């Protein structure tokens, strides 16, 4: 925490969240394969954290003394604190994996190979698999002391191998010179986990690198194998665009994508059992500093546990979610006609995302639809929505798509989709220099048959991406409306995307950063403070992924000190420190469960009116200053009641929720009855609804 103690450290706060994920993996109440899935999530999260956040701090190490002083913090100290906490968590992670997960697998008849003696049939399988599948895809590289190689690929596992030359029978040399080599594990071609032949009624699963270990003698016929160790290098994955405002930004991104693979090191992890001398050779060979080095276990890239085989499926897994139907939309002749009658809210993944795909497909073939506009941030592979947009263009509709090619790790996919759509005749609006478009919005313009020449707009606005795959895993809300005032604001936002240099855009209801987001949020907080001063109730309920912006946090502190009660449901980063003298009326809870809590909802009590917004934006500095976002008001009273009921259920969660303490710790909720698991209760709530 910073010296002022008013703000948690951003990075340590994120690590606190990821530690909550690790704790979920350790829950004995979960089926075994669900525990394994959470271990994969933890590892995946941590890899991205090092490739982005830690890499950013590492890039500051070489600043001049003068420039370092301007930072007001020491990046080496930040990285040191991060590494210390990660090392502690990693030790706990590996201990649980070795002492709990592997024995639990064995109890159900699944053996994860860890140097066990294999049956003859299994040895034959391993040798044959190596010769047929592995050998054509690997190449050993010998190292000698003093060598400096170009690079290790980002986030790829290698085996570092210690060898010695076989002595001739007549040789009397006692001190044999060590030889070193590395081999890239070909997980880009082959699965990380391979199932071996069943033996003694047990299933056997082996790491790909262990198949290589068992066949190293084939690769090094003139050497004796001493041992092998797993290593991995994480590199800076941020695209360094020197000047977004000059030249062709899309071309710059294309050129920089290849550089991601060879970015500056952010973490070199290695098997802690590796000899010091060998580690020194690797350090020199790959031009690493001591700050790069982090000891770890025998296996890396455990995010691959997402694909850990379950030969007993569906046993030891959670049942798959069957999305609920929306009766009103099912009975309606079309989505557009249903939305013309009333606003409709969908709650994912509890309800089917197929309604969103239907919305685009109907618009694509409706002869009265003239125009479709939408944003694209992260879409699914083989996206049904992109297919619908291409169909619409081929059917003569005017289609415009804003493609955010700066969406981290989705740049390449977005460039590909943009080219496909452009070839189909879709107008592609490129990224805006200096800004990311994070708003999730679509607008359909249709001729109104009752009034000749008059058009009607239909909007879909969401807290989540236009991605049918993640909609099965992320808890989000999607809003259909034909309300003319909101539609007009959505039109205005798309005009802003097409001509971002303008400053005369007016938003009556939407909150859009740069224009009115901060001021409108502040007005609502100040109104709650005024209600308390007038002897009335003041209450604010906010749900989001992250709370990091200091100005917003300070507003909440002021409100708390004035007597406004504030409930925060925050999954990830939270720099606000609860339950201090300046925040005694603020409670922060964190929910980690089967679905990723991804929605943003803002509720301001306002004398019982419960003014409610859904939003694409978290209260982070980047969202409120360097992104195009939208917070959307909910006028429909029934939808407001439903959202408030969902939030209330989450505030009552005492199974998967924890409280955030004033030391950034996760505090379990104990001795609380009845037991409420929010995601189960929300599904039941929606199941009981009439629509």
Residues 153-212 have pLDDT tens digits of 888 999 999 999 887 765 555 566 789 999 999 999 999 999 999 999 999 999 999 999
Closest CA to 12 of 580, 666, 667, 651: 666
Residue 9 confidence (pLDDT) above 60: yes
Query: For 649-657, what is the mean pLDDT?
Result: 97
Tokens (6 digits) for 651: 């505030």
Residue 145 confidence (pLDDT) above 50: yes
Closest CA to 642 of 591, 601, 588: 601
Which pLDDT belongs to residue 453? Answer: 60
Which pLDDT belongs to residue 105? Answer: 97
Residue 132 confidence (pLDDT) above 90: yes
Tokens (6 digits) for 560: 């708390």
Task: Give the residue, 217 or 448, on which the prediction is more confident.
Answer: 217
302 DSSP 8-state letter: G
3-state secondary structure of 88: helix
Crossing angle for the helix pair 354-365 and 384-394, to the nearest 10 degrees: 10
Local confidence band at 239 (pLDDT 50, 70, 90 cut-offs): very low
Which pLDDT belongs to residue 20? Answer: 97
Residues 280-311 have pLDDT tens digits of 999 988 888 888 899 999 999 999 999 999 99
- The set of residues, in sequence order, having a beta carbon less than 8 Å from that of 85 and lying 6+ positions away, is 12, 15
CA distance 271 to 182: 14
Local confidence band at 64 (pLDDT 50, 70, 90 cut-offs): confident
Local confidence band at 264 (pLDDT 50, 70, 90 cut-offs): confident
Residue 589 confidence (pLDDT) above 80: yes
Which pLDDT belongs to residue 406? Answer: 64
Q: Which domains does the chain have, with CATH numbers?
A: 10-307 (3.30.1840.10), 327-498 (3.30.870.10), 517-687 (3.30.870.10)
Query: For 145-158, what is the mean pLDDT?
Result: 75
3-state secondary structure of 376: strand
Beta strand pairing call for 586-591 and 565-570: parallel
Residue 242 confidence (pLDDT) above 50: no
Residue 95 confidence (pLDDT) above 50: yes
Supply the mean pLDDT for the chain. Answer: 90
Residue 2 confidence (pLDDT) above 60: no
- Secondary structure of 366-391 in HEC code, one letter for each residue: CCCEEEEEEEECCCCCCCHHHHHHHH
Residue 256 confidence (pLDDT) above 60: no
Active site residues: 438
Edge-to-edge, what's the strand order for the sheet holding 565-570? 631-633, 611-615, 600-604, 539-544, 565-570, 586-591, 657-660, 666-668
Task: Give the residue, 374 or 257, on which the prediction is more confident.
Answer: 374
Residue 644 confidence (pLDDT) above 50: yes
Q: Say if residues 86 and 15 touch (Cβ distance below 8 Å).
A: yes
> How many percent of the chain have pLDDT more than 90?
73
Residues 493-532 have pLDDT tens digits of 999 998 877 778 899 999 999 999 999 999 999 999 999 9
Query: For 626-635, what is the mean pLDDT?
Result: 95
What does 612-633 look like in DSSP terms, one character per residue? Answer: EEEES--B-HHHHHSEE--EEE
Closest CA to 184 of 205, 227, 155: 155
CA distance 439 to 506: 17
Lowest mean pLDDT among 468-472, 496-500, 554-558: 496-500
Closest CA to 286 of 449, 158, 428, 462: 158
CA distance 589 to 543: 10
Q: Helical H runs in 241-312?
A: 249-257, 276-285
CA distance 460 to 455: 17
Which pLDDT belongs to residue 450? Answer: 56
> How many percent of the chain have pLDDT more than 70?
91
Residue 248 confidence (pLDDT) above 80: no
Closest CA to 441 of 493, 499, 369, 488: 493
- The set of residues, in sequence order, having a beta carbon less than 8 Å from that of 550 and lying 6+ positions away, is 7, 575, 621
What phi, psi does 391 have (nearest 5°)?
A: -60, -40
Q: Say if residues 643 and 345 touch (Cβ distance below 8 Å).
A: yes
Local confidence band at 252 (pLDDT 50, 70, 90 cut-offs): very low
Residues 394-451 have pLDDT tens digits of 999 999 999 887 656 557 777 788 888 899 999 988 777 778 889 999 999 998 765 5
Instruction: Name the pTM for this structure.
Output: 0.91
End-to-end CA distance of the chain: 47
- Burial of residue 482 (CB within 10 Å: 0-12, 13-18, 19+) is buried
Residue 97 confidence (pLDDT) above 60: yes
Query: For 349-369, what is the mean pLDDT?
Result: 97
CA distance 393 to 378: 21
């Amino acid at each position: 925490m910073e010296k002022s103690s008013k703000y948690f450290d951003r990075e340590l706060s994120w690590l606190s969240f990821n530690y909550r994920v690790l704790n979920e993996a350790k829950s004995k109440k979960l089926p075994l394969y669900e525990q394994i899935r959470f271990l994969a999530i933890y590892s995946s999260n941590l890899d991205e954290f090092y490739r982005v956040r830690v890499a950013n701090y590492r890039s500051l190490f070489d600043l001049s003394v003068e420039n370092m002083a301007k930072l007001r913090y020491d990046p080496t100290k930040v990285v040191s604190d991060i590494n210390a906490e990660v090392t502690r968590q990693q030790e706990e992670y590996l201990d649980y994996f070795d002492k709990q997960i592997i024995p639990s697998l064995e109890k159900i008849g699944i053996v994860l190979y860890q140097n066990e003696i294999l049956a003859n049939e299994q040895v034959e399988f391993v040798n044959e698999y190596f010769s047929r599948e592995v050998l054509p895809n690997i190449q050993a590289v010998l190292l000698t002391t003093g060598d400096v190689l170009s690079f290790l690929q980002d986030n790829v596992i290698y085996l570092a191998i210690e060898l010695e030359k076989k002595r001739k029978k007549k040789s009397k040399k006692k001190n044999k010179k060590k030889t070193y080599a590395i081999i890239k594990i070909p997980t880009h071609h082959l699965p990380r986990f391979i199932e071996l032949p069943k033996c003694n009624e047990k299933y056997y699963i082996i790491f790909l690198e262990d198949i290589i270990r068992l066949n190293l003698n084939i690769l090094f016929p003139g050497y004796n194998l001493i041992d092998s160790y797993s290593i991995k290098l994480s590199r800076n994955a941020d695209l360094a665009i020197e000047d977004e405002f000059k030249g062709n930004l899309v071309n710059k991104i294309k050129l920089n994508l290849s550089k991601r693979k060879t970015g500056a090191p952010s973490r070199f992890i290695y098997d802690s059992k590796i000899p010091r001398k060998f580690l020194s050779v690797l350090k020199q060979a790959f031009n690493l500093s001591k700050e790069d080095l982090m000891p770890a276990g025998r296996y890396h890239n455990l995010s691959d546990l997402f694909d850990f085989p379950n030969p007993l499926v569906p046993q030891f897994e959670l049942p798959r979610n069957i999305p609920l139907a929306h009766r009103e939309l099912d009975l309606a002749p079309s989505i557009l006609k249903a939305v013309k009658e009333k606003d409709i809210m969908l709650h994912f993944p509890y309800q089917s995302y197929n309604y969103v795909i239907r919305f685009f497909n109907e618009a694509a073939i409706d002869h009265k639809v003239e125009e479709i506009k939408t944003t694209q941030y992260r879409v699914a592979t083989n996206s049904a929505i992109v297919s619908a947009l291409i169909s619409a263009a081929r059917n003569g509709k005017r289609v415009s798509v804003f493609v955010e090619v700066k969406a981290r790790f989705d740049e390449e996919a977005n460039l590909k989709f943009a080219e496909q759509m452009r070839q189909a005749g879709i107008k592609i609006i490129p990224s805006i220099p200096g800004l990311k478009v994070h708003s999730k919005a679509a607008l359909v313009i249709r001729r109104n048959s009752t009034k000749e020449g008059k058009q009607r707009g239909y909007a879909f606005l969401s807290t989540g991406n236009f991605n049918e795959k993640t909609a099965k895993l992320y808890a989000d809300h999607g809003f259909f409306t034909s309300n003319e005032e909101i539609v007009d604001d959505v039109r205005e936002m798309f005009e802003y995307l097409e001509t971002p240099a303008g400053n005369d855009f007016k938003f009556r209801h939407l909150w859009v950063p740069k224009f009115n987001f901060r001021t409108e949020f502040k007005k609502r907080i100040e109104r709650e403070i005024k209600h308390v001063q007038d002897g009335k109730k003041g209450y604010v309920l906010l749900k989001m992924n992250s709370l990091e912006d200091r100005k917003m946090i300070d507003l909440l502190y002021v409100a708390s000190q004035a007597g406004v009660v504030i409930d925060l449901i925050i999954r990830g980063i939270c720099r606000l420190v609860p339950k201090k003298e300046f925040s005694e009326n603020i409670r922060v809870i964190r929910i980690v469960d089967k679905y990723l809590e991804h929605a943003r909802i803002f509720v301001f009590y306002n004398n019982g009116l419960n003014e409610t917004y859904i939003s694409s934006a978290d209260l982070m500095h980047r969202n409120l200053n360097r992104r195009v976002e939208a917070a959307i008001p909910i006028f429909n009273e029934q939808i407001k009641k439903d959202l408030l009921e969902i939030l209330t259920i989450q505030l009552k969660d005492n199974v998967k929720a924890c409280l955030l303490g004033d030391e950034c710790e996760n505090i379990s909720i104990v001795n609380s009855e009845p037991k409420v698991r929010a995601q189960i209760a929300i599904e039941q709530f929606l199941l009981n609804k009439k629509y």
